């Protein structure tokens, strides 16, 4: 998989044309570093594969799932290359609109939307709302009625297909909280027909993230034709199919998604249904583009294990702790991997661990360490646990680089907290 983090000969790691040591010196650590050229290459790979395999009039609207990485700079770049947007909250809608996305290229998914979020989405002129429950149909109808509008919705099918690199990011199984069974989708359409402020226009589906068992996509797609036929047989309009995201990336040596095979399933199963096609890729576009740059605080030798304690921690990148996710770890300096370390942070949890048994050069305090493939579900899941500040984010493009989010300060955290007078005077 393409990434623009690379080592120049016997030298240190670069992000595109910029040495990581330069970024660490200028912006400090821990910091997220993103290579914009990787994001661009990933976007082009997706769009060119579909351009090659799908008919011209069935090109998908690629709605970037901005939950993966919602920094405004990254949203702006993807928008400028032609992406639409998938959002899961009213705040993501504001981010998207601020980044210049046309609301008619934004889809709103998620299992629970507040009336306020629905209202904002409808007022913006959003492309569609992806409905996840029977309750939501009347909820959206009521909001649309108040606004004197008609809401375009699609119903999210739960195809009962297991997909997703970890149980916590599988979303298409019967017992997952997402979507509606096929029977309930039919029921939802019937209900929608009775409501004046709902225009049901299609279906959506998203079986999970990091779906490395790629045949799961095909199995899920194959659930659609019969359902579409049933719905059309009842006179319902199915003119959009949103087939979600979930494209896997390489964290270690996983086999890559055969994008051509994926596109061929879309061509063979989805295209004949003659609908608009929408996809919601997130991780695929940004995952390998990012790394968490950390500095070694200390090396702690124990009887069993040598711990490399960095200034990055689970609050900065939760994926290893939350999903047992693997992230490659490299010393920024060049050197033979002569030592084995467990790479961790200072947070007071044994689960604060970036990786066990990693082969690295002999490391000392002050050395830089790159936690790789951290561009998706990295910064956006960071927290202030242990009163640690959110890391900085830096975007690199060729030899250009810029801070796209400064490191949070302790003042930012403390100023937001208030002690009631009746506590001060206890
Ligand atoms: C509804 C929906 N669409 C798209 C995505 C993006 O998934 P991924 O980043 O794996 O492409 C997600 C994330 O799980 C999601 O919940």
198-209: pLDDT as tens digits: 999 999 999 888
The residue among 268, 284, 300 that closes a domain is 284
The residue-averaged pLDDT of 304-327 equals: 97
Q: Do 95 and 162 fall into the same domain?
A: yes
Percent of the chain with pLDDT over 90: 89
Q: What confidence score (pLDDT) does residue 253 get?
A: 84
pLDDT higher than threshold 90 for residue 136: yes
Ligand 1 centroid vs 402 CA: distance in angstroms?
Answer: 28
pLDDT higher than threshold 70 for residue 118: yes
Rounded (5°) CA angle 278-323-394: 70
Ligand 1 centroid vs 46 CA: distance in angstroms?
Answer: 15
The reported pTM is 0.96
List of E strands, 4-136: 5-7, 13-15, 18-19, 31-35, 61-65, 84-87, 106-108, 128-131
Q: Do 390 and 278 fall into the same domain?
A: no
Residues facing 290 on adjacent strands: 34
pLDDT higher than threshold 90 for residue 97: yes
Atom of ligand 1 nearest to the CA of 210: 10
Name the domain count of the chain.
2
pLDDT higher than threshold 80 for residue 165: no
Ligand 1 centroid vs 281 CA: distance in angstroms?
Answer: 6
Atom of ligand 1 nearest to the CA of 248: 10
Atom of ligand 1 nearest to the CA of 68: 9
Q: Is residue 424 part of a domain?
A: no
Catalytic residues: 348
List of E strands, 89-159: 106-108, 128-131, 151-156
The residue-averaged pLDDT of 413-417 equals: 96
Of 124, 22, 19, 38, give the one whose Cα is nearest residue 77. Answer: 38
- Looking up residue 10, the CATH number of its domain turns out to be 2.40.37.10
**Could you tell which of 280, 281, 286 is best to mutate to test the pocket of ligand 1, judged by most ligand atoms within 8 Å of the CB?**
280
**Could you tell which of 206, 213, 241 is best to mutate to test the pocket of ligand 1, judged by most ligand atoms within 8 Å of the CB?**
206
User: 374-401, pLDDT tens digit by residue?
Assistant: 999 999 999 999 999 999 999 999 999 9
Q: Do 199 and 161 fall into the same domain?
A: yes
Task: Tell me how far CA of residue 214 lies from CA of 65, 210, 249, 253, 272, in angstroms.
Answer: 19, 9, 12, 15, 21
User: 28-50, pLDDT tens digit by residue?
Assistant: 999 999 999 999 999 999 999 99
Q: What confidence score (pLDDT) does residue 256 get?
A: 79
User: 210-266, pLDDT tens digit by residue?
Assistant: 888 878 999 999 999 999 999 999 999 999 999 999 999 999 988 778 899 999 999
Q: What confidence score (pLDDT) does residue 10 get?
A: 75
Q: Do 166 and 302 fall into the same domain?
A: no
Q: Do 131 and 239 fall into the same domain?
A: yes
Task: Name which of 5-14, 127-136, 149-158, 349-358 the model is least confident about.
Answer: 5-14
Q: What confidence score (pLDDT) does residue 164 get?
A: 67
The residue-averaged pLDDT of 100-114 equals: 97
Burial of 296 (0-12, 13-18, 19+ CB in 10 A): buried
d(CA 173, CA 207): 8
pLDDT higher than threshold 80 for residue 128: yes
Ligand 1 centroid vs 208 CA: distance in angstroms?
Answer: 7
Q: What confidence score (pLDDT) does residue 172 get?
A: 73
Residues facing 395 on adjacent strands: 34, 402
Q: Is residue 350 part of a domain?
A: yes
The residue-averaged pLDDT of 405-417 equals: 97
Q: Do 155 and 170 fall into the same domain?
A: yes
**Could you tell which of 241, 245, 250, 377 is best to mutate to test the pocket of ligand 1, judged by most ligand atoms within 8 Å of the CB?**
245
Q: Is residue 426 part of a domain?
A: no
Ligand 1 centroid vs 163 CA: distance in angstroms?
Answer: 12
Domain that holds residue 29: 5-35+287-416
The residue-averaged pLDDT of 149-160 equals: 95
Task: Name which of 159-163, 280-284, 350-354 the model is least confident about.
Answer: 159-163
Atom of ligand 1 nearest to the CA of 376: 9
Task: Name which of 246-260, 268-282, 314-328, 357-371 the model is least confident about.
Answer: 246-260
Residue ranges lining ligand 1, Cβ < 6 Å: 65, 68, 86, 109, 171, 206, 209-210, 244-247, 280-284
Q: Do 258 and 308 fall into the same domain?
A: no
pLDDT higher than threshold 70 for residue 148: yes
Ligand 1 centroid vs 37 CA: distance in angstroms?
Answer: 22
User: Long-range contact list for 420-424, CB < 8 A, 24+ apart?
Assistant: none
The residue-averaged pLDDT of 146-173 equals: 85
Q: Do 22 and 106 fall into the same domain?
A: no
Q: What confidence score (pLDDT) does residue 200 get?
A: 98
Which residue's CA lies nearest to atom 13 of ligand 1?
209
The residue among 249, 284, 319 that closes a domain is 284
Residues facing 240 on adjacent strands: 202, 276
Three-class SS of residue 235? Answer: coil
The residue-averaged pLDDT of 156-182 equals: 81
Ligand 1 centroid vs 261 CA: distance in angstroms?
Answer: 20
**Could you tell which of 156, 205, 209 is best to mutate to test the pocket of ligand 1, judged by most ligand atoms within 8 Å of the CB?**
209
Atom of ligand 1 nearest to the CA of 156: 1
Q: What confidence score (pLDDT) does residue 25 get?
A: 98
* CA-CA-CA-CA torsion sign (91, 248, 167, 186): positive
- Looking up residue 215, the CATH number of its domain turns out to be 3.20.20.10
Q: Do 21 and 84 fall into the same domain?
A: no
Q: Do 280 and 293 fall into the same domain?
A: no
User: 68-88, pLDDT tens digit by residue?
Assistant: 999 999 999 999 999 999 999
Atom of ligand 1 nearest to the CA of 247: 11
């Amino acid at each position: 998989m393409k990434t623009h983090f690379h080592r120049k000969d016997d030298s240190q790691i670069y992000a595109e044309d910029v040495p990581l040591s330069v970024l660490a010196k200028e912006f400090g650590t821990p910091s997220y570093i993103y290579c914009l050229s990787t994001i661009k290459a990933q976007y082009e790979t997706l769009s060119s594969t579909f351009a090659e395999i799908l008919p011209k009039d069935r090109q998908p609207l690629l709605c970037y799932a901005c939950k993966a990485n919602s920094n405004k700079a990254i949203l702006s770049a993807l928008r400028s290359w032609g992406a639409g947007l998938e959002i899961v909250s009213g705040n993501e809608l504001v981010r998207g609109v601020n980044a210049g996305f046309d609301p008619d290229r934004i889809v709103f998914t998620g299992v629970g939307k507040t009336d306020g979020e629905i209202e904002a989405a409808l007022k913006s002129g959003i492309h569609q709302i992806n409905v996840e429950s029977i309750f939501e149909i009347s909820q959206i109808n009521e909001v649309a009625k108040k606004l004197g509008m008609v809401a375009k919705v699609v119903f999210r099918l739960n195809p009962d297909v297991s997909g997703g690199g970890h149980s916590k990011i599988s979303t298409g199984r019967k017992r997952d909280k997402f979507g509606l069974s096929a029977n309930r989708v039919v029921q939802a359409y019937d209900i929608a027909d009775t409501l004046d402020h709902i225009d049901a226009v299609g279906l959506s589906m998203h079986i999970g993230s990091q779906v490395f068992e790629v045949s799961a996509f095909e199995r899920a797609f194959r659930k659609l034709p019969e359902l579409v036929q049933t719905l059309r047989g009842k006179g319902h309009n199915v003119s959009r199919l949103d087939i979600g995201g979930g494209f896997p990336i390489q964290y270690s040596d996983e086999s890559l998604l055969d994008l051509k095979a994926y596109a061929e399933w879309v061509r063979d199963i989805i295209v004949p249904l003659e609908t608009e096609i929408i996809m919601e890729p997130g991780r695929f576009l940004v995952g390998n583009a990012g790394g968490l740059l950390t500095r070694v605080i200390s090396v702690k030798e124990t009887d069993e294990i040598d711990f490399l304690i960095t200034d990055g921690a689970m609050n900065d990148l939760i994926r290893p702790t939350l999903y047992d996710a693997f992230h490659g770890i490299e010393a920024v300096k060049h050197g033979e991997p002569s030592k084995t370390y467990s790479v961790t942070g200072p947070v007071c949890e044994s689960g604060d661990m970036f990786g066990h048994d990693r082969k690295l050069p002999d490391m000392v305090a002050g050395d830089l360490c790159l936690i790789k493939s951290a561009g998706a579900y990295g910064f956006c899941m960071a927290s202030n646990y242990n009163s640690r500040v959110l890391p900085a984010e830096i975007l690199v493009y060729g030899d250009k680089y810029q801070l796209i989010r400064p490191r949070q300060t302790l003042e930012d955290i403390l100023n937001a907290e208030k002690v009631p007078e009746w506590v001060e005077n206890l």
